[in-house]
Amino acid sequence: MTPKEIEIEITKDGMVKTHLKGFKGEKCMEYARILEQLIGPAVSVEKTGEYYETETSIDVDVEGSRN
C-alpha cells in the first residue's frame, strides 16, 4: 500500500498550493474537493500520472478461525 501524503504550501504572495501524493484515480479528486471546502476553490488543477493509475485492493474472506 502506497503511503498517502497531503502537502500544503503557502507562497510569499499568499497563494495556497496543495499536492496530493499516493492517491490514485477518482480518490484523489475526492480529497481535493475536501481541501477546497477547507481552504477555498482551486484556481487551477494539474493531474499527475497517479490520477490515471488504478487503486489496487484485495478483499479477503475468512471462514471460521484456526485453533
Every domain of the chain and the residues it spans? 5-52
At 53 the pLDDT is: 82
Cα separation of 55 and 67, whole Å?
Answer: 34
At 65 the pLDDT is: 55
State the 10-residue block means of pLDDT for the chain, 67 residues long: 86 89 87 90 86 75 67
Cα separation of 56 and 49, whole Å?
Answer: 15
Whether pTM exceeds 0.85: no
At 57 the pLDDT is: 65
Alpha-carbon dihedral angle through residues 5, 36, 24, 19, given to the nearest 10 degrees: -40
Of 2, 34, 53, the residue nearest 18 (C-alpha): 34
At 34 the pLDDT is: 92
